[in-house]
Amino acid sequence: MRYEPAVQVTGLVKRYGARTAVDGLDLAVPRGSVTAVLGPNGAGKTTTVEICEGYRRADGGTVRVLGLDPVAQGGELRPRIGVMLQSGGVYPGAHAAEMLRHTATMYADPVDPGLLIERLGLQACGRTPYRRLSGGQQQRLALAMAVVGRPELVFLDEPTAGLDPQARHATWDLVRELRGDGVTVVLTTHFMDEAEQLADDVVIIDGGRAIAAGTPEELCRGGAENTLRFSGRPGLDVGSLLNALPQDSLAAELTPGNYRVEGRIDPQLLATVTSWCAQHGVMPDHLAVERRTLEDVFLELTGKELRA
Ligand SMILES: Nc1ncnc2c1ncn2[C@@H]1O[C@H](COP(=O)(O)OP(=O)(O)OP(=O)(O)O)[C@@H](O)[C@H]1O
């Protein structure tokens, strides 16, 4: 049985005056998955997420969140989603615990706020006014507020920006737990390792459009940086090795005794190389497969120049 995606965005357009921030963006978020939305500064991530949350109106395209229109059916949608904004949406004089308890009262079956406070290491800040919390503590409180209502779907906009490593790991654990409970998570991040750690699917946005989408493995597969390296005696017959490999592979002796094979490095290719080595009496030392990282892919697709 095929389920409707938790979020389905088609041809989304959003303009701010003369500037087109989102320019025909398509996005589908499967239910029960973690989807990371990546993109350079100003790519249109926050705008897209805020339209899905019903905080902004689109100028074109269609958006369905849990099958609902986030603006026209916002009243029905809001109790079912959790939202962690980059900033704002809070009364600066309120105490942290008070704010979380208040948020919890808005939902039918909330998580115990005390448990969340403990879970996110905010016990010492319960009676601290919001404006006196550190940036990282504000961030953790915003995360707690996003999940306290046991949402079906949660939007986390840069959830770990500015967090110390402990809080970052606590946030990651919480995201994994949400996913384990069947919650759909959409998160934006600039941390590629965060996306690799957490995301089932990744969408890369640039210039207001989705330019790539897939699982981290799919995105990192292929390309010249999928390589296999090994060392052996210098001067091996690279041409003969190449003959044994699939057609689109490359093989070279980079420096005497150090060899590189490029192509689709799968278990079969690995077996072909080691069996060729065995036939030629070569012990392949330092045999290593190097895959492209998500950061390599991101920079390849979006370029290395800084964005305004
Ligand atoms: N309220 C606004 N008024 C005018 N322009 C805006 C507004 N909000 C965003 N923009 C512009 O729209 C573009 C997309 O911004 P957005 O915040 O969606 O990008 P982003 O991908 O979330 O960036 P970042 O990674 O820096 O958070 C940017 O050029 C930004 O300057």
β-strands 184-188, 153-157: how paired? parallel
pLDDT (tens digit, 9 = 90+) per residue, 163-191? 899 889 999 999 999 999 999 999 999 99
**DSSP tag of 31:** T
% of the chain with per-residue pLDDT over 70: 94
Residue 250 — φ and ψ, nearest 5°?
A: -125, 150
Please give the distance, rounded to the nearest whole angstrom, from the Cα atom of residue 160 to the centre of ligand 1.
Answer: 19
Q: Is 245 helix (H, G, I), strand (E, B) or coil?
A: coil
Average pLDDT over residues 288-304: 86
C-alpha to C-alpha distance for 185 and 143, rounded to whole angstroms: 12
* pLDDT at residue number 89: 61
Question: What is the per-residue pLDDT for 95?
Answer: 86
Domain coordinates in residue numbering, the chain: 7-220, 227-291
Average pLDDT, the chain: 91
Q: What is the DSSP letter of 95?
A: B
Ligand 1 atom 11: residue of nearest CA: 21
Query: Ligand 1 in contact with 216 (CB < 6 A)?
Result: no
Instruction: Kindly provide the ipTM of the predicted complex, given to two decimals.
Output: 0.97
Query: CA–CA separation, 126 vs 209, rounded Å?
Result: 41
CB 70 within 8 A of CB 54: yes
What integer pLDDT is reported at residue 96 of this predicted model? Answer: 84
CATH class of 7-220: alpha beta
Give 61 Cα–ligand 1 centroid separation in angstroms. Answer: 18
pLDDT of residue 128: 86
Percentage of the chain surpassing pLDDT 90? Answer: 69
* The predicted structure's pLDDT at residue 125: 82
Question: Which of 15, 19, 53, 211 for mutating ligand 1's site (highest number of atoms within 8 Å of CB)?
Answer: 19
pLDDT confidence of residue 1: 42
Written as one letter, the residue type at 74 is: G
**Residue 187, pLDDT score:** 96
pLDDT over threshold 90, residue 93 = no
List, in order, residues 6 or more apart from 176 with CB less than 8 Å away: 198
At residue 263 the predicted structure's pLDDT band, cuts being 50, 70 and 90, is confident
